[in-house]
Amino acid sequence: MTTSAAATLVPFDEVLERYDPALGLEVHVELNTATKMFCGCPAAFGGEPNTNVCPTCLGLPGSMPAVNRRAVESAIRIGLALNCQIAEWCRFARKNYFYPDMPKNFQTSQYDEPICFEGFMDVDVDGETFRVEIERAHMEEDTGKSTHVGGLTGRIHGADYSLVDYNRAGIPLIEIVTKPITGAGEKAPAVARAYVSQLRDLIVALGVSEARMDQGNLRADVNLSLAPKGSGTLGTRTETKNVNSFRSVERAVRYEMQRHAAVLDGGGSILQETRHWHEDTGVTTSGREKSDADDYRYFPEPDLVPIAPSREWVEELGGTLPENPTEKRGRLQTEWGFSDLDMRDTVGAGALTLVEETVAAGASPQSARKWWLGEMARRANDSNVEIAELGVTPADVARVQALVDEGTLNDKLARQVFDGLLAGEGTPDEILAARGLAIVSDDGALSAAVDNAIAANPDVADKIRDGKLAAAGALIGAVMKEMSGQADAARVRELILEKLT
């Protein structure tokens, strides 16, 4: 195994002085159908290993597959949402290779006859629109899952033994492949991130997948190549596999651009290979040399009838599409009264849907935006996860804001409620009660604390008696300190002035 922790990198700005990057993204979407692609086994996540299996998804001799109609429907809806053409007739194909987690020794996929082809998605990056052209979206099945035990890295190298769980084998996947994305220049990493992020929003809006990157429902492979600046050609690409967050997509593109440039600057050539992304160190390492399609000996699947979706069905499915994302952003911006910058930041943070759901749960757009882009974004960044995966829901944020609005919490106490939410201590109201966080506005308790503050700060009290009301701030601070920040500051001020003037 080569390790490229020590790979030489060219500074990002210098890469762009000499090279034009080309991106390509392959995104696998695991559909949320009730059953698998070609058999009736449950397609649910989790479950005891090797319990959701049958002769078909285990590839036993004599078993016969049958296509899941709902999966075809989801594929067509994804294709239509990506402005694709829908094939009038297409077939499945066998992709032949050996992998221990693939019991049939071939993957049932689509080869030269994908169900969806020639589409596009417009991606917004910093207020600029890039059109990402979609080459194809095809149907296939997932493999099982291997667990390599005993090694340090969790990979097969160095492991003592491996376990295979076939529960995932045969779960329907849609693979969405872009054409090479050129012309993005320095924005290539951001375009890659924005594409995957917007694609996820679209998948969520379609309701065809849970689309959680952390659970592998949505997996991105990032292709990157560099060509000499202005040459108009495409260089040799590498494919970084299974990058599992938006942020990592951006980082992986940036890293590969810098690594490719160093190899090319040194007179070397890029090996066409797959690479592994290492989330912790932010580097890629060499995987396996990339196979050409020829090596897979694709041939049409003889056990499945061709798929021939009628035009009436396609049209009917076209009527079930969610609002176009670009139009939706425009509508929300108007409804929320956000500036272009507010909106751009919200989209850029991957918080559009979260803000939308928080507003739907009763918060004002500005307060929803404040929490998600401030407190939540900071915490997500600290824990190295996407904000959607923090474990705080839009309903939680809306409830916390409602408690602030009604005067039960201030922003400081609200942050302690979020601490409790992240620690899994229950609902905002449960945390509020358990941690005793509510603001105290009871005059008895406040009056005693004010008396203590006056007694401890006689000089400040004298100033206030002399009419220097601005000095009250020091006493309010003392009361707040005594009451752990839980005093109603406005009422404390009133009490101080009542007592001293």
Per-residue H/E/C for 441-484: CCHHHHHHHHHHHHHHCHHHHHHHHCCCHHHHHHHHHHHHHHCC
Q: How many residues does this entry show for the chain?
A: 501
Report helix angle 489-500 to 472-482, nearest 10.
Answer: 120
Collapsing DSSP states into helix, strand and coil, what is residue 226? strand
Q: Tell me whether residue 57 or residue 403 sits nearer to Zn ion (CB atom).
A: 57
Q: Tell me whether residue 167 or residue 178 sits nearer to Zn ion (CB atom).
A: 167
Q: Write out the two tokens for 22.
A: 């080309």
For the chain, how far is it from start to end, CA to CA, in angstroms? 79
DSSP code at position 352: H
Q: Write out the two tokens for 18.
A: 């000499």
Q: Give the span between the Cα atoms of 467 and 451, in whole angstroms.
A: 19
DSSP code string of 259-274: HHHHHHHTT-----EE
Collapsing DSSP states into helix, strand and coil, what is residue 145? strand
In the complex, minimum distance from the CB of residue 53 to Zn ion, in angstroms, rounded to a whole number: 6
In the complex, minimum distance from the CB of residue 183 to Zn ion, in angstroms, rounded to a whole number: 45
In the complex, minimum distance from the CB of residue 97 to Zn ion, in angstroms, rounded to a whole number: 21
Give residues in contact with Zn ion (CB under 5 A). Answer: 39, 41, 54, 56-57
In the complex, minimum distance from the CB of residue 85 to Zn ion, in angstroms, rounded to a whole number: 32
> Is the distance from CB of 80 to CB of 91 less than 8 angstroms?
no
DSSP code at position 307: B
Per-residue H/E/C for 45-59: CCCCCCCCCCCCCCC
In the complex, minimum distance from the CB of residue 66 to Zn ion, in angstroms, rounded to a whole number: 11
Q: Give the residue from 49, 413, 27, 376 showing the smallest Cα distance to 223.
A: 27
Amino acid at 199: L
Q: Tell me whether residue 41 or residue 472 sits nearer to Zn ion (CB atom).
A: 41
Which residues contact residue 341 at a Cβ distance below 8 angstroms, ignoring those fewer than 6 apart?
A: none
In the complex, minimum distance from the CB of residue 131 to Zn ion, in angstroms, rounded to a whole number: 40
In the complex, minimum distance from the CB of residue 95 to Zn ion, in angstroms, rounded to a whole number: 19
Q: Give the span between the Cα atoms of 405 and 410, in whole angstroms.
A: 9
Q: Tell me whether residue 167 or residue 367 sits nearer to Zn ion (CB atom).
A: 167
In the complex, minimum distance from the CB of residue 146 to Zn ion, in angstroms, rounded to a whole number: 18
In the complex, minimum distance from the CB of residue 170 to Zn ion, in angstroms, rounded to a whole number: 6
Report helix angle 472-482 to 443-456, nearest 10.
Answer: 120
- Which residue in the block uniquely carries the two structure tokens 């990032």? 222
Q: In which order are the strands placed within the sheet that holds 172-178?
A: 85-86, 116-125, 128-141, 172-178, 19-30, 218-228, 238-243, 273-278, 283-289
Q: Tell me whether residue 56 or residue 410 sits nearer to Zn ion (CB atom).
A: 56
Q: Tell me whether residue 56 or residue 110 sits nearer to Zn ion (CB atom).
A: 56
Quote the strand ranges of 31-127, DSSP E.
85-86, 93-96, 106-109, 116-125
Q: Tell me whether residue 54 or residue 262 sits nearer to Zn ion (CB atom).
A: 54
Q: Give the span between the Cα atoms of 74 and 179, in whole angstroms.
A: 22
Q: Tell me whether residue 52 or residue 333 sits nearer to Zn ion (CB atom).
A: 52
Q: Tell me whether residue 41 or residue 363 sits nearer to Zn ion (CB atom).
A: 41
Q: Tell me whether residue 39 or residue 116 sits nearer to Zn ion (CB atom).
A: 39
In the complex, minimum distance from the CB of residue 61 to Zn ion, in angstroms, rounded to a whole number: 15
In the complex, minimum distance from the CB of residue 63 to Zn ion, in angstroms, rounded to a whole number: 9
Q: Tell me whether residue 135 or residue 165 sits nearer to Zn ion (CB atom).
A: 165
Q: Give the span between the Cα atoms of 322 and 356, in whole angstroms.
A: 15
